[in-house]
Structures are given as structure tokens and as C-alpha cells.
Amino acid sequence: MQRTAVIDLGSNTSRLVIYEHDPGRNFRLVDEVREVVRLREGMGASQTLRAAAIDRALHALKMYRVLCDAVGVDELIATATSAVRDATNRDSFIARVQAEAGISLRLLSGEEEGYYGALGAINGVGICDGFVVDMGGGSAQVVEVRNGEPARAHSARLGALHIAETYLGFDAGKPGAVKKLTQQVRELLENEFAWFKAYDGAELAAIGGTVRNLASIAQAEDNYPLDSVDRYILAGSDVTGLGNRLWQMSAEERRKLNGLQVDRADIIHAGALVYSLLLEHSGFDRIIVSQQGLREGLFYEKFLAGQARPVISDLRELSPLSMARNFRQDTRHTQHVAKLCLRMFDDLQELHRLADAFRQLLWAAALIHDIGVSIGYDSHHLYSSYIVLNSLLPGYTPRERVLIGLLARYHRSRGTPKAGEFASLFEPGDEDALTVLAGILRICEYLERGRRQVIPDVRCHFDRELGWVQIEALADGDARMELWDAGRNVGLLAAGLGMEVEIVEGVWAANGVSAIDTDP
Amino acid sequence: MQRTAVIDLGSNTSRLVIYEHDPGRNFRLVDEVREVVRLREGMGASQTLRAAAIDRALHALKMYRVLCDAVGVDELIATATSAVRDATNRDSFIARVQAEAGISLRLLSGEEEGYYGALGAINGVGICDGFVVDMGGGSAQVVEVRNGEPARAHSARLGALHIAETYLGFDAGKPGAVKKLTQQVRELLENEFAWFKAYDGAELAAIGGTVRNLASIAQAEDNYPLDSVDRYILAGSDVTGLGNRLWQMSAEERRKLNGLQVDRADIIHAGALVYSLLLEHSGFDRIIVSQQGLREGLFYEKFLAGQARPVISDLRELSPLSMARNFRQDTRHTQHVAKLCLRMFDDLQELHRLADAFRQLLWAAALIHDIGVSIGYDSHHLYSSYIVLNSLLPGYTPRERVLIGLLARYHRSRGTPKAGEFASLFEPGDEDALTVLAGILRICEYLERGRRQVIPDVRCHFDRELGWVQIEALADGDARMELWDAGRNVGLLAAGLGMEVEIVEGVWAANGVSAIDTDP
């Protein structure tokens, strides 16, 4: 395992994150420090970093350096963005950071900032074609994404703080100011972002604190059941509504909004207005919110260094695998359960008629169904579900993450999957699908009860008219225990299919099929 | 690590549990199978195990044997209790278990059954003097506990199933039957359990499904905030109330009771009546419910084999240590945080005036505050709290477990500890105590930010009149980062004490104190 540290020195906040990773295979955040440095404070029109701001930043960076040395990191990536980029005295600042903190600060151009932010979003929410918007305090970047890679990027002074300062003020705005802002931003977009237009198949993702807070307000008004904005779909109408509403409220009123971070109350109205203008200009009607952004993008470049491009080739495959690896799963066992599940899903396709997307959810759930054992064996199905519901699972929508969590939840113990508190995320048919899929997962888990792959494969037979399904468990050795334990756990699948389910011992060798591949 | 399997063949249910353990240090359950065998079915007055029952038991035991072989265990302990004990054909049965399942079944006498059950309870809830009652289906055992060890034990046919069969029936009872039962049980208790009487300092604990279900009903009526009956205090008045109420209800009505396992609805009224008679006879007015019983007692004998007696000498010390070890904590780090916490607690005693019991909670919380990192670094304080609230922590009351969980919860992140949903468990002053303790834990965690013991010790100074506290952090090397991070995290302790708190660098070597002991 390697340790990679990323430092991100922003206009307002600095942050150190440390990842532990096995490149290309799995990673996890292991440490994080955040310090407000207010680097832009007092900079004014002369664009010079002030003494107090320089001291604050140097101090934070020195501390980050000490922490990295204390916990041990293999590599340190440190970047600075718009506040330093715009500063007349930036060269002196960068030299002092090197001399006093021992950190080589890489100054990102607006386009590079956009590029890495987009990389974080692409590897986080998995968009293939479209655009990524990153709105900070000073600037905003729009990056085009083509075939899953960041392409053209452009940065403009459309940050929430800058817009509030320049046009609206920090309290309630005035209609005239809003009008002027609207006109000038529209003009800027026409001139500099003519290529930022929705087209068939294109998606719009966004990163940064402004959009996360807009999403969080919308979630609070919507009683959204998850405690994360990642992959949340922010409706264009919500953005426009907030754009129209927030500037008319006083900062005090905004401060009381559920979901809004209090220290954003003085600039969020500006951010909302710019976002609504971005949507109007581009023609998109929704925004996919990404939790991952610049820091993650910088990290992914290292994590994926061995590959042709810094983009995870199959996010929906790597995510559950990475999670299983992080929780030190017995991969021979979980991969084998997954294999049996897929076989059963395919053999029973005519009966359940579920779409392929469900097949992948079943596979993912099979890989991580036991991660809750890390908390405790008793009730580990509940713990697995808790972990999935509280983790990022890049490439999967919130609904899909909930479905995977509920599959883990119902892989053992009594009861039938219910949407419950997550009903608002469910699509019609999801509950029924869950019953079938959890039924399959449960049987396959018990066919692997001894964790020894004694049942290398299964075949399913059925007679729809007579109403029975037979699972022929092809045994390679003494599989009595597995047959017994699976046999007493067929009830859920039977309920899901509305048919009788029986398990019959078959013989593996007689099938002449080659040895299975259970290598991760 | 060793693996010890325990099989418990009861009258109704058989169970296999497998523990992984480092003897005397830590253990965790890693597998469990349960199968209903209904061994007593059809036994009748002739007390002979019937063919079908024998087959069911043999089959389950064979499966357990295969599972043990498949997952690998170092040792297998298998016991049978009253159904086999009472059977005329028990020798044949035991021989067949040996021949066909390869398992040496140890037949426990009523007294031995009581002994091991008591051992589980003593090591679970930590009672020192008093009695442990274990009510099963056929018999009930009362075991005297003296100086933390099981002493005299006696078994009688007071099991819930037997009492229901003999006196009450499985549906609503009749007043005459209740009267007769009451009279005969009173007589039996007078004759056989004259020594079972409350005395000063004596406590009454109970194990087994009957008391767990009574507790669960009482919890449901009481909106108890935890999802566990372990260490729950079942009030005598609740027991008497249930004893008077349940037999008047039909089985159908009882089935609808919140908290009651449905398959107990036909015998729980009998169990409730016997428990109320046990309380009346002994003079106890409350029962401490223990989740751990017979199987755990059998396991503890192995786990503690190297010690003079099979009782954990300091349960409140071993429990958090064992939990920290199970979650592979960096013990140098957590033990050092614990040490700093205790020093600060003691130095500030005059200010906070908290009892010593809180000192131990602080120590325990320091040991396990980071276990949530096993789920993820982000929000790991929430995960630590979730794990503590969902685990057994033998030797601590539910209130104390909640306090430890909340200390872990507030060791980082914003906010002040609140009782919230756990208010019913809190005692006056607990919220204020939590603020002080979490404030101490938070500072000490940051004084160990680099996990390198660079601040071997602290001293606290204060002036109550001027309203300040100074924490002198005795540094052994460059501790700037720790001082900085601790310095920006003094707010919670300041709020808890209502005083200003400052951190000042001191020098460790100049104190001439000998090297600290951070070895676990």
C-alpha cells in the first residue's frame, strides 16, 4: 500500500488529505486536516497577497508538512489555485513555501484546475459526455468531457464570492443589481462559453461548495433520505427557484435555511443566480452533483498512473471491488458467491425478467455482502447495509446504492425487503426485484457456507406451469452442509418468484466444464 | 488467534458458535448456526428420545461438524442439557453422535448447566455477589454467586414449556390453574431453594430466552432507546405485572405483543408467572438481564484457561481493551491518548468535580474512539459511536455504554454532546459531564495528532477566580503541529468548564520524569 498526500490551497480554505492505496485496485482516505486561511483577504484590486494572509497560509502548510512526515507519506502533491494565481507577489510566496515549509507548490492554471476537478467528477459520478462545472469563490471553470475524458476547459471570474462582492452585496440584493448581473453574465457566457451547450447524450456535473449547498437545501426541502449529496440530481427548476428566491432574502434569513452551511449564507444567493444562468445558457435541465473534485482528481492521476489515461475504465466494476478489498474480504469466497448469483440470475431470466442493470447490482451486493463482519458477526447484514449507505460508491446512483445496501441487508435473517424510508428513491418494481435478487443472493451465500467453493456451479431448471424451480447444485465433494443450509433458505426466492424452489445435488465433474476462475 | 467452537444441544434448539480469540486478551464471534431440533417432541412421560427427534439432532450435529472442519477450528466443545439428560435412551444417543457425527457430546448435569450459564452471566454483566437464574424450556437453574464466582447451584423442573404443559396450557389460562401453580411452585421454592434469598449487596441476574423476551416486552412499552436487552434492568413490578397479565390473554393476543418473539407466545405467560414467583420468594425487586449465558460460559472456560479461575478479573478494563484489539487499533496511540486524558481529568478534578466512574468512561472512550476508522475516515467519530452502541461492552451499563459512545461521537467535529434519543438513560448532570469529558478527549486526541507520543505528558494549571485553565503540554521534540491542532480545539472543554482554556508548550526532559509506559 502506498500513501499519497494532496494539499489544496484554495482562496478561502486549505486542506490536506492522505490516501492509502494499492494503485489501480483500491484506496481509502486515512487522514484529513482543514484550515481556513482566507488567502484573498485584503487583496483588493491590486491583487497582492497580504502579510497576514501569507502567514496564515505558511503556518498551515508547515503543519501539513509535519503531519505528513509524522504519519509517513510516499508522495506529496501540493497545489494552489486562483488566489495565488492572481497574485502579483505569487513568486515570492511560492519560494517561501518551498523554503519554510519544504513544499513544492504547483500553481494550477484555470484550465488545469478545471481539468483536475473534472477528473475527480468523472471518476466519481462516471459521466461520459458533457460538461463539469466547478464554482469556487473567485472563479468558475467549465470543462468539456468527451468519451469519459476532460477536454477543453475555460475559467472565468464567476465565483460566488466575487459575484456577491461585485454585484449583489452579502445581504439581500436589489432588483437592479440582479438585472445588471444577469445581463453581464449572459454576455460573458455568450462570448467565452459558446461551446457550453447541451446536446443529445450530454450530462452536466458540478463540483464545489456552492452546488453542494444548493443540493443540500433542495434535499432538506424534499426530505431526501440519504445523508450525502454525491450523485444527487439537482433539478433545473430547483436551481432556478433558488436563484430567484435567495437574493431576496436577508443573510439572516438565509442563515436559517435547512441544509445550508451557515458560513455560506452571505454568498450562496450569488452562486444560485450564476448556476441558474449557466443552465439557461447551456440548456441543461439538471445537474449531477459530485462530491469528488479537485483533490480527488489530483489523487486519481497517481492512483491510475499505470494506465493509459487517468480515468477508471469501468467505475461500476472497480467501486465494489475496491470496497471489498478495503474491508479485506475473502475474495475467493465473495467472488464465488457473485459468480453463482450471476449464473442463477441468467438461468432464471425468463421468470424474473429483470433488466441487466439489476444483474450488476446483484454482482456488487455479492462482493460486499459480508463487509459488516468488520463490525461484528451478529447482525452483520445490518452492518454491511449501514456501511454501504454511509459510503461513496462511485459510478452508482443513490437509488442503486440503496438497492445494493438492502440486498446486503437481506442476504440473511428474516423478513422481505421493503423500501421503507427510501421509498422516494425507488422506481416501480424495485421492491419486487429486491425480493428476487436477495432471494438469489441468500441461496448462493448458503451454497458457499463453508467458504470452500465445494459447489463450483449451479444450473436452474423450472416449469412455469407446474410452478417449480429446481436449483441443481453441482457439487465437487461433500456438499451436504451447503445443500442443507441453502435448502432451508429458499423461502425468499420462492416468495419473489411466486413459485416453489427446491435444491438438488448435482455432480460437478460429470459436467466436464473447466475449472472456474475465482481469482480477483 | 485460536478458534474455539461451542455446540449447545438444547431441548428445542441447537446452536453452533465459533469464536476467534487470543486467550485472555480478546475474542469475537466469527460464525453461528442455529437449527430447531425439538428434541423433546413426543418424549412424553416415558422420557424416551423419539426416532424423528434423534434424526433431526444427528443431522444438525453432522452439519456442525462439517462446518467446523470446513472453516477450521482448534477445539470443539459440545454439550447437551435437559432433554438428553432426562432421556432413558441417552447413552445410545450419545454413542451415535460420536459414531455418526464424530462429536463427543458432554452431558451436563443440572448443576453444571447452571454453573456455565452463571459463568456467562458473570463475565457478561459482572455481578459479584448474588444469584443467576437460567430458565429454559424444561428446567430452571438457580446459581449462587459469591465473590464473582459461581457457587451452589440447583436445578428444578420450572422451565416455561414444562410449566405451560403441566398447569396452564398454551392459550389463555384459568384462575384455578394459576392458583394451583402458584401454590405448588411456592412450595417447591420453600423446599428446594430456601437459600435463594436477597441480602445486602446481592444482585439477581438472569439468562435465557424467557427473561430476554420479558425484557424486550418491557422495553417496547417503555420506548427503550437501545436495540439490546443486555444489562437491561427489568423492574420487579414489570415482572409481576406481566405475570398477572399474560396468562389472561389468548396466545393470539400475546402474539401481537411488541417485543415478543412470535414462537414464544404459547409459553411466555408461564415463564412470566414463574419469574414473578421467584422474585416473591427471593425478595429481589429487579433482574439484571444478561445476553450471555451457557455457550459463553463454556467458551470463557477456554478463553481464560491460563488463569486461576474462569472469571475475568477486571471486566471493565478488559472490555474496552478487547474491543480496541478486535478493531486493530494502534495501541501505542490510543493508550497514550488515554493516559493524557486521565492526567487531565485528575489535574482538573477540583474544577469538574466528576466522580471516578466518569474517569473510567473517559479512559474506555479514549481506547476505542477511533474504531470507526474501520468503516471510513470521514465521519469516523459517528461510526465509532455506531459500533459502540451496537456492541456488547461487558461490565458497563447501557447508560455507560451510551456515554462512551457519545464521547467517541464528540471527540471531533462540531457540536456539543446532547442526550437526544438517549435522554431516558441519562442521569442528572450527565450532559454536562459529557461536555467536559469530550472536551478533554478532543484536546488529548489532537495532542497526539501525529500518533508519535511527542507530548509524553501534560500538566494543568488554573485560576478559578480569573477563569482560566492552562494546559502545559510537555513536549519531547518538535510538537508544533500538535500544539496548533490542540490549540484550535479547546472550545469544547472551555464550554464544559465555563472557563478560558489555553495550551502552552512545556518541556518534557526538564521534568526529569521517567519514560512513560505505553505498552498495552
How many residues belong to chain A? Answer: 520
Q: Do A67 and B379 touch (CB under 8 A)?
A: no
Residues A433-472: pLDDT tens digits? 999 999 999 999 999 999 999 999 999 999 999 999 999 9
Which residue of chain B has the CA closest to A378? Answer: B29
Would the CA dihedral through B62, B68, B74, B77 be positive or negative? Answer: negative
**What is the pLDDT of chain B when averaged over all its residues?**
94
- Residue A116's nearest CA partner among A15, A223, A243, A6 is A6
Residue to test with chain B: of A36, A449, A452, A453, most B Cβ within 10 A: A449
When pLDDT is averaged across residues B76-87 and rounded to a whole number, the result is 94
A413 is written with which cell numbers?
A: 435473517
Q: What confidence tens digit (pLDDT) does each residue in B146-182 have?
A: 999 999 999 999 999 889 989 999 999 999 999 999 9
Q: Which of B15, B66, B212, B488 to mutate to test the interface with A (most CBs of A within 10 A)?
A: B66
Which of A465, A515, A458 is closest to A483 using CA atoms?
A458
pTM of the entire structure?
Answer: 0.92
- The total of other beta-carbon atoms located within 10 Å of residue B226's CB is 19
C-alpha cell at B395: 461490565
Q: Is the dihedral of CA A138, A142, A148, A151 positive or negative?
A: negative
Separation between Cα atoms, residue A499 and residue A464, nearest integer Å: 8
β-strands A26-36, A13-22: how paired? antiparallel
Report the candidate in B332, B344, B330 with the shortest Cα–Cα distance to residue B474: B344
| Phi, psi of B387, deg, nearest 5 | -65, -45
Asked whether A33 and A15 are in contact (CB, 8 A), the reply is yes
Integer CA distances (angstroms), B314 to A323, B114, B318, B322, B362, in order = 37, 23, 6, 12, 17
Give A122-176 pLDDT, tens digit per residue.
999 999 999 999 998 888 999 999 999 999 999 999 999 889 989 999 999 999 9
Percent of chain B residues past pLDDT 90, beyond the cut: 91
**Distances, alpha carbon A171 to alpha carbons A11, A80, A137, in Å:** 21, 30, 17
* Eight-state DSSP code of residue A451: S
CB contact under 8 A, B376 and A452: no
Of A66, A71, A450, the CB nearest to B451: A71
Instruction: Report chain A residues whose CB lies below 8 A from the CB of B55.
Output: none
Write down the pLDDT at residue B519: 42
Whether residue A520 has pLDDT greater than 50: no
Beta strands at A105-107 and A75-80: parallel, antiparallel or unpaired: parallel
Please list every residue in chain B whose beta carbon sits closer than 8 Å to the beta carbon of residue A386.
386
State whether A391 and B374 contact (CB < 8 Å).
no
Do the Cβ atoms of A16 and A30 come closer than 8 Å?
Answer: no
Spatial separation of the C-alpha atoms in residues A266 and A247, rounded to whole Å: 10
Which of A39-48, A65-74, B457-466 is predicted least confidently? A39-48
Distance CA A373, CA A187 (A): 57
Q: Give me the DSSP letters along A68-121.
A: HHHH--SEEEEEE-HHHHT-TTHHHHHHHIIIII---EEEPPHHHHHHHHHHHH
Checking if the pLDDT of B487 tops 80, the result is: yes
User: What is the pLDDT, as a whole number, of residue B236?
Assistant: 97
B130-135 and B105-107 beta bridge pairing: unpaired
Q: In this predicted complex, what is the ipTM?
A: 0.90
Q: Please list every residue in chain B whose beta carbon sits closer than 8 Å to the beta carbon of residue A383.
A: 390
Please indicate whether, in this complex, the C-beta atoms of A481 and B63 are within 8 angstroms of each other: yes
**pLDDT of res. B520:** 40
Residues of B in contact with A480 (CB under 8 A): 62-63, 66
What is the C-alpha to C-alpha distance for residues A248 and A169, in angstroms, rounded to an integer? 12
Chain B closest CA to A377's CA: distance in Å?
6
Residue B454 C-alpha, separation from nearest chain A C-alpha, in angstroms: 10
Contact B361, B407 (CB under 8 A): yes
Q: What is the pLDDT of residues B263-308, one digit of tens each?
A: 889 999 999 999 999 999 999 999 999 999 999 999 999 999 989 9
Give the whole-angstrom CA distance, residue A355 versus residue B446. 50
B contact set with A (CB within 8 A): 28-33, 59, 62-63, 66-67, 70-71, 373-379, 383, 386-387, 390-391, 449-452, 454, 478, 480-481, 484-485
Q: Name A75's bridge partners.
A: A4
Percent of chain A with pLDDT over 70: 98
What is the distance between the alpha carbons of residues B294 and B282, in angstroms, rounded to a whole number?
23
Closest C-alpha among A107, A14, A113 to residue A57: A14
* Dist CA A151 CA A124 (whole Å): 17
Whether residues A63 and B485 touch (CB distance < 8 A) is answered with: yes
Radius of gyration of chain A (CA): 26
- Residues in chain A whose Cβ is within 8 Å of chain B: 28-33, 59, 62-63, 66-67, 70-71, 373-379, 382-383, 386-387, 390-391, 449-452, 454, 478, 480-481, 484-485
Query: What residues form DSSP beta bridges with B471?
Result: B460, B503
Please give the single-letter amino acid code of residue A165.
E
Instruction: Output the pLDDT for position B512.
Output: 53
489544496: which residue's cell? A8
pLDDT in tens, A390-425: 999 999 999 999 999 999 999 998 889 999 999 999
Q: pLDDT digit string (tens) for B24-45?
A: 999 999 999 999 898 988 888 8
Looking at residue B36, its pLDDT comes to: 87
CA B10 vs. chain centroid, Å, equals 22
Complete domains list, chain A, with CATH: 2-107 (3.30.420.40), 111-291 (3.30.420.150), 315-511 (1.10.3210.10)
CA–CA separation, A318 vs A324, rounded Å?
10
Q: What is the pLDDT of residue A12?
A: 82
Judge contact between B126 and B395, C-beta under 8 A: yes
CB pairs under 8 A between A and B: 86
Give dist(CA A238, CA B81) in Å, integer: 66
Whether the Cβ atoms of residue B388 and residue B369 lie closer than 8 Å to each other: no
As given in the structure block, the three cell numbers for residue B279 are 422474585
Predicted confidence (pLDDT) at residue A514 exceeds the cutoff of 70: no
> Which residues share a beta bridge with B508?
none
CA–CA gap between residue A113 and residue A468 (Å, rounded): 59
> Could you identify the residue written with the cell 461548495?
A209
Burial of residue A175 (CB within 10 Å: 0-12, 13-18, 19+) is: exposed
CA distance B413 to A2: 27
pLDDT tens digit string along B203-224? 999 999 999 999 999 999 999 9
Q: Cell triple for residue B324?
A: 480496541
pLDDT at B76: 98
* Residue of A327, A368, A481 for testing the chain B interface, max B β-carbons within 10 Å: A481
Interface test with B, best of A58, A333, A377, A389 (most B CBs within 10 A): A377
b/e code A294-313 from CB counts within 10 Å (16+ = b): bbbbbbbbbbbeeeeebbbe
Q: What is the dihedral of CA A24, A25, A29, A31, to 10 degrees?
A: -80
Residues B64-93 have a mean pLDDT of 95
Instruction: Tell me: pLDDT of A305 over 50.
Output: yes
pLDDT-above-70 percentage for chain B: 98
Candidate from A382, A451, A484 with C-beta closest to B63: A484
User: Angle A305-A309-A310 (CA atoms, 0-180°, nearest 5)?
Assistant: 60
Most distant CA atoms of chain B, gap in Å: 84
Q: Of the candidates A59, A391, A449, which has its C-beta nearest B67's C-beta?
A: A449
**Cβ within 8 Å, pair A71-B484:** no
- Look at A478 and B32 and tell me if their CB atoms are within 8 Å: no
pLDDT score of B23 more than 70: yes
- Residue B510 has a pLDDT of 55
Backbone angles phi, psi at B214, to 5 degrees: -60, -40
For chain A, the straight-line distance linking the first and the last C-alpha, in angstroms and rounded, comes to: 17
> Which residue is it, cell 448556476?
A275
pLDDT of B442 above 70: yes
* CB within 8 Å: B374 and A375: yes
CA distance, residue A70 to nearest chain B CA (Å): 5
Tell me the pLDDT of chain A averaged across its residues.
94
Distance from C-alpha of A246 to C-alpha of A270, rounded to nearest angstrom: 8
Task: Using alpha carbons, select from A165, A163, A132, A184 the residue that is nearest to residue A293.
Answer: A132
> pLDDT band at residue B511, thresholds of 50, 70 and 90?
low
Q: What is the pLDDT of residue A519?
A: 41
The reported pLDDT for the residue numbered A80 is 96
Q: Which helix (H) or strand (E) holds B26?
A: strand B26-36
pLDDT top residue among A500 and A46: A500
| The B286-289 sheet, strands edge to edge | B149-156, B140-146, B130-135, B203-207, B286-289, B233-235
Chain A residue numbers touching B452 (CB-CB < 8 A): 70
Say what the pLDDT of residue A279 is: 98
Residue B265 DSSP one-character state: T
B140-146/B149-156 β-pairing:
antiparallel
* The residue type at B321: L
Q: Indicate the SS3 state at residue A510.
A: helix
- Distance CA(B141)–CA(B144), nearest Å, equals 10
The number of residues making up chain B comes to 520
Q: Are A136 and A242 in contact (CB under 8 A)?
A: no
Nearest residue, CB atoms, A391 vs list B376, B478, B484: B376
Residue holding cell 441558474?
A276
User: pLDDT grade, residue A36 (50/70/90)?
Assistant: confident
What are B357-367's pLDDT values in tens digits? 999 999 999 99
Place of cell 470463557: B300
Q: Which residue of B has its CA nearest to A19?
A: B377
Per residue in A325-334, pLDDT (tens digit) is: 999 999 899 9
Place of cell 447482525: A379
pLDDT tier at A511, thresholds 50, 70, 90: low
CA angle A20, A23, A29 (to 5 degrees): 25
Phi first, then psi, for residue B54 (nearest 5°) are -60, -45
pLDDT digits (tens, 9 = 90+) for A315-356: 999 999 999 999 999 989 999 999 999 999 999 999 999 999
3-state DSSP assignment of residue B435: helix
